[in-house]
Structure 1
Amino acid sequence: MDLAVIWFAAIAVLWIGYFVLEGFDFGVGILLPFLGRTNTDRRVMINAIGPVWDGNEVWVLTAGGAMFAAFPAWYASLFSGFYLPLLVVLLALIARGVAFEYRGKVDDERWRARWDQAIFWGSALPALLWGVAFANIVRGVPMDADHIVTAGLLDLLNPYALLGGLTTLSLFTLHGAMFLSLKTGGEVRAQARRAVPAIALVAVPAASGFLLWTQVSYGTTWTLPLAAVAATALIAAVVLSLRGREGWSFTATATTIATATVVLFGSLFPNVLPSTTNPLYSLTVENASSADYTLTVMTWVAVIFLPLVLAYQSWSYWVFRKRITREHIEPTPAYTAHSGTA
């Protein structure tokens, strides 16, 4: 098989990993001011993702690096045309990472409240903007014969893209609530379970509508069953959560996110960035890829190192698999040396 096609599929897998894993991180951050009634409860929520959030972000770094190496023309056009929203995502991720480390440094309510706001916005903005960005990638953008994106900010804020942003925002929030109900105990777990129906009132119609729009306008024959699986899994996740099947409900939202991402990449292929100016100006898997030698070297590197990365991340999830409760939190908000705790 063509190495360019293989690397297109590999990049899709990297984005699936990022959205599934970082998705619940974003969801926890979005829910922080709503479910964390006390500082102890907020610390329970933050400590639930503390050991894994930074490892989850490695997926987007790897995806960006793979795009740069395998499809440099795609990377260049995408990151120049989407410069402003991607800059906002970057700044939000930086602020969120700093907030995780610094909120517990000072025993002061106002200090912690500021960093909690940074965690919220640092989670909500990327959750929204990733959906806007990927919807525009599938829809296509104004691009000339030199593959220079000529779209302005208002061009990116079209109805389809805004629905995509609402879908990822609400879906990641629901995914985060499922994770908290699975990973925490006590009051935080109870509040997370109570929040699921309210979040689902937005997530289910938004995701279903976005999947339907994607399938009708850009989908292919083989993406249709995947879109149906994504919508069905989302409904099943809500039902399972209401029945107290927390592990299965989390698995179901993860399935929705994964299959929906496959639908987006499947609808995009063989393009990597369609041009709405003229289809002949579109970037495709073939005309945007690196040379075969580069792709061959990348393949061998991935074959050697990817299993090691997956083994390490799986091990970290296994080590920190137990529920977090108020009993695990110190009575005073003292700073601990472990990364991600607060």
Structure 2
Amino acid sequence: MDLTTIWFLAIAVLWTGYFVLEGFDFGVGMLLPVVGRDDTDRRVMINAIGPVWDGNEVWLITAIGATFAAFPAWYGSMLSGFYLPLLAVLLALITRGVAFEYRGKVDDPRWRRRWDVAIVVGSTVPALVWGLLFANLVHGLPMDAGHVVRAGLGDLLHPYALLGALTTATVFLLHGAVFLALKTDGPVRVLARAVALRTALVAVPALVGFLGWTLAQRPTGWTLPVGVVAVLALVAGTGLTARGREGRGFAATALAIVATTVVLFGSMFPVLVPSTTDPAFSLTVAGAASGGYTLQVMSWIALVMLPLVIGYQAWSYWVFRRRVTRAHIAPAH
């Protein structure tokens, strides 16, 4: 296995970690007005992800940085084709981060409601857009010989891409509900379980349809069983959460996201972006990669830094592992 393939796998791992960890963050944010009956419940929900949400975004920063360094042509093609959607994601993440910090700065219900809306919007937009963008990468884009994508926003909104957006949003919603059931206690935990069951009625069929469509477009022999694992894990996670086994339920929904991401990246190898203009213009892993020296330097940096980052994040999750309840919430001031 050469360095080009290794770095493709490394980027796939980074995106997988981002979707698993930031996925429940997005789910909690989208559920804020649904599970949070009052301001105290909403503060319980925010405190459940408060110590980890910003650390989870490091995976996105690392994935994008690694793509820029290891596959600059891939990075350039995605940026040229997805400029507006990626701008929407960036603005949503900024708004969401500001909302987390400013929500409690003023003791005014209207002030908090406005920031709650910002949290919901800032969580929903990325959850939808990531599914939309990765579906387009699998489906293919109008790309010329210079690997410049000539696609307008309307070209990205075809049925398969919209199904991808629905799938990521609902799966993240379910993942977030299971996380709340695991990380909180009291009314939030009870409502999160109920929401997880209702969300599964949409998330499971959406995942089945999306993975089936993906396998039909980019068939590879080994991705079919992985797709089956994704669907079964999502069903199992819902059932385990309903029976009060939230830890196993969260592991199962995380496995479903991992398996789904594996199917997506497996479908994109070795053709990263198929060209709908002319198949000869398609961007491959080998054609998009940086030189060997660049990949070698990146490999040594990753060997040193990645274990430190993973170790620190694992430690932070261990420190803040206890459930959050209404009793832990101090009066608003």
**TM-score in terms of structure 2 length:** 0.99
Q: Secondary structure at the match of 2:272?
A: strand
Asked which structure has the greater RCO (Cα within 8 Å, sep 6+), the reply is: 1
Q: Secondary structure at the match of 2:63?
A: helix
Q: Secondary structure at the match of 2:62?
A: helix
Residue type at the aligned position of 1:204? V
Q: Deviations over 1:212-271 (max 9, x none)?
A: 111122130011110010011111111112211111111111000011000000011001
Q: Could you say which residue in structure 1 is the equivalent of 2:247?
A: 247
Residue type at the aligned position of 1:298? M
Q: Could you say which residue in structure 1 is the equivalent of 2:187?
A: 187
The within-5 A match list for 1:169-188 is 169-188=169-188
The within-5 A match list for 1:191-340 is 191-331=191-331, 333-334=332-333
Equivalences, count: 333
| Aligned-partner Cα distance in 1 for 2:287–2:162 | 29
Shift of 1:2: 1.2
Residue type at the aligned position of 1:34? V
- Within the alignment, does 1:90 sit opposite 2:84 as a pair? no
| Aligned-partner Cα distance in 1 for 2:196–2:14 | 27
Q: Could you say which residue in structure 2 is the equivalent of 1:339?
A: none
8 Å CA contact 1:67, 1:75 repeated in 2: yes
| Aligned-partner Cα distance in 2 for 1:32–1:152 | 33
Q: Secondary structure at the match of 1:272?
A: strand
Q: Could you say which residue in structure 1 is the equivalent of 2:153?
A: 153
Q: Could you say which residue in structure 2 is the equivalent of 1:4?
A: 4
Q: Secondary structure at the match of 2:147?
A: coil
The sequence identity of aligned pairs, in percent, is 68
Q: Could you say which residue in structure 2 is the equivalent of 1:337?
A: none
Residue type at the aligned position of 1:183? K
| Aligned-partner Cα distance in 2 for 1:246–1:102 | 31
| Aligned-partner Cα distance in 2 for 1:105–1:59 | 28
Shift of 1:80: 1.4
Q: Secondary structure at the match of 1:244?
A: coil
- Within the alignment, does 1:117 sit opposite 2:123 as a pair? no
Shift of 1:96: 0.1
- Within the alignment, does 1:79 sit opposite 2:105 as a pair? no
Unpaired runs of at least 5, structure 2: none
| Aligned-partner Cα distance in 2 for 1:272–1:4 | 12
Residue type at the aligned position of 1:233? A
| Aligned-partner Cα distance in 2 for 1:131–1:251 | 21
Residue type at the aligned position of 1:165? A
| Aligned-partner Cα distance in 2 for 1:244–1:278 | 52
Q: Deviations over 1:39-77 (max 9, x none)?
A: 000000000000000000000000000000000011011
Q: 4+ runs of 1 displaced by more than 3 Å?
A: none
8 Å CA contact 1:219, 1:263 repeated in 2: no
Q: Could you say which residue in structure 2 is the equivalent of 1:15?
A: 15
- Within the alignment, does 1:32 sit opposite 2:69 as a pair? no
| Aligned-partner Cα distance in 2 for 1:9–1:327 | 44
Shift of 1:152: 1.1
Q: CA RMSD in A?
A: 0.6
Q: Secondary structure at the match of 1:26?
A: helix
**TM-score in terms of structure 1 length:** 0.97
8 Å CA contact 1:177, 1:195 repeated in 2: yes
Q: Could you say which residue in structure 2 is the equivalent of 1:162?
A: 162
Shift of 1:109: 0.4
Q: Deviations over 1:93-128 (max 9, x none)?
A: 000000000000000000000000000000001000
| Aligned-partner Cα distance in 2 for 1:280–1:2 | 24
| Aligned-partner Cα distance in 2 for 1:324–1:316 | 15
- Within the alignment, does 1:49 sit opposite 2:49 as a pair? yes
Q: Secondary structure at the match of 1:106?
A: coil
Unpaired runs of at least 5, structure 1: 335-342
Residue type at the aligned position of 1:239? G
The within-5 A match list for 1:128-143 is 128-143=128-143
| Aligned-partner Cα distance in 2 for 1:260–1:219 | 14
8 Å CA contact 1:219, 1:266 repeated in 2: no
| Aligned-partner Cα distance in 2 for 1:288–1:314 | 33
